[in-house]
Amino acid sequence: MTMTSHYLLGLSSGGFHRIHYTQRGSPDNKRTAVCVHGLTRSARDFDFLADELASDYRVLCPDVVGRGQSAWLNNNKDYGYPQYLADMTALLARADTATVDWVGTSMGGLIGILLAAQRHSPIARLIINDVGPYIPKTALDRIAAYVGKTPVFDTFEKMEAYVRTISAPFGPLTDAQWQHLTLHNTRRLDNGTYTSVYDPGIAEAFKGQLEDVDLWPVWEAVSCPVLVLRGAESDVLSADDAARMAARGSGSVEVIEFPGIGHAPALMDADQIAVVRDWLSS
C-alpha cells in the first residue's frame, strides 16, 4: 500500500513547529484511523499495521513532536501531554472527518484516553496498547533510567544490536522487523555514526521525584468502545489494572493479552495485527 508523507504546524511556547505524519489508503476515505506511537518511538512503528488497515481506512500515523521526522521543541519543558494533545487536535482538524478510530501504544494510548475523555470527542473507538490510567512509579523509574540517554554507535549493526536489547520486551520479531525498527528509529550523524532519532530533551518530564500516575477519573469519562491490549509480562499495565479498566469503563471494554511479551506488543506480528483489524471490523 502506497505511503505518503505530510506535515502540519503545531504551536508551543517557542513558536510554531512542524509535525510529520504518514498517510495510507484513499485520501477521500472519511473512515479514518489514527495510530500514535510510544514515548521514544516513531510513526514508522505502525507500517505493518497501517498497510493492513489501509484497504478499509485512511490511516494517519504521526510522529509526535520531538520524534521521527517531526521538529524538536526549543523549550524542553513543553514536552508533555498538554502539547501532545494540542498537536494531535491539529491533526484531527487536518483529517476533516467527524470521527476517527484511535490506536495508541503506551504514550499514544494515554493521549487517546485523554482525548476520548473529553466532551464531544471525535474518537469513536479506542485501542490502547499496553498502558492504562494507572502507571506505577517503578515503571516510570525504569523508563527514566534510559530515556534521554542516546548512545552513539559507529555501525548500523551495533545500533541494531542495541535496539534489540532495549526493545526485547516487544516480543519475538523477525530479522527484517528488527531492521525496520532500527532503520526508522535511528539517525545518522554527520560523522557517520548512528544514534536514536528522538530529541533527548523529552526526558525533561522524567526529572525530579517521580510518583505513580493515577488517571482513573479520566478513564471513567471514556464512553466509546475500547480494546485494551496487554503484554502478559508488562510492568506498565498489570493484569489487575487491565481487569479494573474493564470493570470501571463507562462503555464496553474488552481486554486481550499476548503471552510472552512485555511492554509493549509491537503490533507487527500477523496475529496481533489480526486482533486489531478484526476488532475494528466487528
pTM of the predicted structure, to 2 decimals: 0.96
**pLDDT of amino acid 110:** 98
Q: Tens digit of pLDDT for each residue in 133-143?
A: 999 999 898 88
Question: Percentage of the chain with pLDDT > 90?
Answer: 91
CA–CA separation, 217 and 248 (whole Å) = 10
Q: Name the E strands within 32-122.
A: 32-36, 58-62, 100-105
Quick one: average pLDDT of 246-251?
89
Q: Tens digit of pLDDT for each residue in 178-203?
A: 999 999 999 999 999 999 999 999 99
Average pLDDT, the chain: 95
CA–CA separation, 241 and 215 (whole Å) = 12
For residue 209, is pLDDT > 80? Answer: no
Confidence of residue 282 (pLDDT cuts 50, 70, 90): confident
**pLDDT of amino acid 205:** 87
**pLDDT of amino acid 1:** 67
Helix, coil or strand: residue 181: helix
CA–CA separation, 151 and 83 (whole Å) = 27
Q: Tens digit of pLDDT for each residue in 252-271?
A: 999 999 999 999 999 999 99
DSSP labels, 216-282: HHHHTT--S-EEEEEETT-SSS-HHHHHHHHHH-SS-EEEEEETT--S---S-SHHHHHHHHHHHH-
Q: Tens digit of pLDDT for each residue in 36-55?
A: 999 999 999 999 999 999 99
Quick one: average pLDDT of 89-117?
97
50: cis peptide before it, omega within 30°? Answer: no
Nearest Cα neighbor of 57 from 121, 127, 9, 114 is 127
Sign of CA dihedral 223, 224, 225, 228: negative
Confidence of residue 176 (pLDDT cuts 50, 70, 90): very high
**pLDDT of amino acid 25:** 96
Quick one: average pLDDT of 147-175?
93
Helix, coil or strand: residue 175: helix
Helix, coil or strand: residue 178: helix
Question: How many other CB atoms are found less than 10 A from the CB of residue 278?
Answer: 10
Task: Domains for the chain: give ranges and CATH numbers.
Answer: 3-150+198-281 (3.40.50.1820)
**pLDDT of amino acid 6:** 98
